[in-house]
Amino acid sequence: MKGLKIDLVKYRWIWLGVSGVILVPGIVAMIICMTKFNAPLKPGIDFTGGSILQYQFEKPAPLDIVRQALAESGFEGSQVQQAFISNKEVIVMRTKAIDDEAEKRKLDADLTAKLGEFKVLSVDKVSATVGPELLSSGLIALVVTFLMMVAYISYRFQFDYAVCAISALFHDVIALCGIFAILGLVIGTEVDSLFISAVLTVIGFSVHDTIVVFDRVRENVKYVGSKATDADGNEYKKNFGHIANDSVNQTLARSIYTSLTVVITLSALYFLGGVTTRDFVLAMLLGIISGTYSSIFNASCLLVMWREMKGTGSAKPKPKAA
């Protein structure tokens, strides 16, 4: 990482273009999910309610045959996963709520006909734990949190810093939700209450990483207008874009090393951990990567563009009153 330098300002449209390539398909997928599931993401049983069945078959049970049996029994679209308990294969089925015992008997008969005898490990009925009231309250709390972040960052830094930090945060949330919307349409990945926890964690990480970069920008902004020499020996005066470049490169190694340790840990949990937490870990992993990218590239680029539009990118800031 030593000696690596990024020209933030020169290639700003490339950095923002990469974000656009990720965000646009995700937004389209969320719109499709709204028409298909009445929600921007495919909701899991934590939101809709349903049943979880864990069966252990005497013979190996291909997942496609299990899904076929579920569809023929009236449970089309159910989520099927393979797990291992004491080194023995277990099929975990998440279906709509099974209220009628006749439906359960028909499903068991279809599974037996296609896959042979099995042992029922557990059959649990799950009610929706996140109702409309709790969801609306959570959205209100999220808006209040954003407003408080803007107020605090504006007080400690400046208003344009706050707006750019929140923009980077929205980038991470939309990118994460967009990817899961695509996964929901393609492979049926559902979101549950753990996904909300992952999103909140990503929000905290994104703001923290952006503030680290912005703090260095604030420290270096006093050098706006100072003289410097380029690689060819030509003298020039530093503007805000030069300061942002210097600040990002000074914090680049720290940001990447910090994120890399988290990514390594989450990768180990994803590949070696249990099936029940895999989607949660995936959300965390995608969110950390997106948060690192937006903190280094997007937030600082937006701040430079803001200063250039306001015409304050080449002048020293006025000292604040004591």
Beta bridge partners of 237: 227
- As a residue count, the chain comes to 322
**What CATH architecture does domain 50-126 belong to?**
2-Layer Sandwich (3.30)
Residue closest to 245 by CA, chosen among 13, 14, 11, 8: 8
pLDDT of residue 4: 65
Q: CA 67 to CA 82: how far, in whole Å?
A: 12
For residue 320, give the DSSP letter: P
Q: Do residues 52 and 92 lie in contact, with contact meaning Cβ atoms separated by under 8 Å?
A: yes
> What angle (nearest 5°) sits at the alpha carbon of residue 25, between those of residues 23 and 31?
100
Q: For 12-38+131-310, CATH number?
A: 1.20.1640.10
pLDDT of residue 182: 95
Cβ neighbour number for residue 236 with a 10 Å cutoff: 10
Q: Do residues 95 and 75 lie in contact, with contact meaning Cβ atoms separated by under 8 Å?
A: yes
Using alpha carbons only, how large is the chain's radius of gyration in Å? 25
Q: CA 286 to CA 290: how far, in whole Å?
A: 6
Residue identified by tokens 């078959």 is 57
Q: CA 75 to CA 91: how far, in whole Å?
A: 15
Q: Do residues 68 and 93 lie in contact, with contact meaning Cβ atoms separated by under 8 Å?
A: no
For residue 223, give the DSSP letter: G
> CATH 1.20.1640.10 in the chain, residues?
12-38+131-310
- Residue 188, classed as helix, strand or coil, is coil
Residue identified by tokens 């959205």 is 139
> CATH 3.30.70.3220 in the chain, residues?
50-126
pTM of the model: 0.77
Mean pLDDT by runs of 10 across the 322 residues of the chain is: 71 90 94 90 80 89 89 82 84 85 89 90 77 66 81 86 89 93 89 84 85 89 80 78 88 88 92 80 93 89 87 49 40
Lookup: tokens for 193: 């209450």
For residue 104, give the DSSP letter: H
The dihedral over CA atoms of 280, 281, 282, 284, expressed in degrees to the nearest 10, equals 90
Q: CA 276 to CA 260: how far, in whole Å?
A: 24
